[in-house]
């Protein structure tokens, strides 16, 4: 059986390419911390690797991360508009569960988004 004359060259090229491969950087891990209030969240140290730390308190979530590009700290506040979700009277029915999911979906969907109608 004859060996392909280009086989040895292909192996050499593959070995050289492996020398130039760079290690893949690790993605920063996000953290979730429960705190007493907003002041504690703003005074808590955050990682300097660019990962986001989420601080949960009351009906709010504060997302903080260090912007590596310009060295500033970015803060984003998420506020739950209505923290009361009605409990179903009969938890065994599928309709009640689906109604609850629709209610939750209405609370988290932006109001300026156009409705999409199903075509039957």
Q: Say whether pTM exceeds 0.95.
A: no
Cα–Cα distance, 25 to 8 (Å, whole number): 32
pLDDT band at 81 (very low <50, low <70, confident <90, very high): confident
How confident is the prediction for the chain on average, in pLDDT? 76
Q: Kindly list the distances between the CA atom of residue 58 and the CA atoms of 34, 65, 67, in Å, as whole numbers in the listed order.
A: 10, 20, 26
User: In this predicted model, what pLDDT tens digit does every residue of 7-54 receive, in sequence order?
Assistant: 778 888 888 887 777 776 666 677 888 888 888 888 888 888 888 899
**pLDDT of 88:** 54
């Amino acid at each position: 059986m004859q060996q392909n004359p280009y086989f040895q060259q292909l192996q050499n090229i593959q070995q050289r390419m492996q020398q130039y491969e760079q290690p893949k950087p690790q993605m920063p891990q996000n953290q979730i911390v429960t705190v007493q209030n907003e002041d504690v969240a703003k005074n808590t140290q955050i990682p300097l690797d660019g990962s986001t730390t989420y601080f949960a308190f009351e009906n709010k979530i504060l997302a903080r991360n260090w912007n590596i590009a310009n060295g500033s700290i970015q803060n984003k506040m998420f506020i739950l508009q209505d923290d009361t979700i009605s409990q179903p009277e009969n938890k065994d029915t599928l309709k009640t569960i689906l109604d609850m999911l629709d209610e939750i979906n209405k609370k988290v969907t932006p109001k300026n988004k156009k409705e999409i109608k199903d075509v039957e």
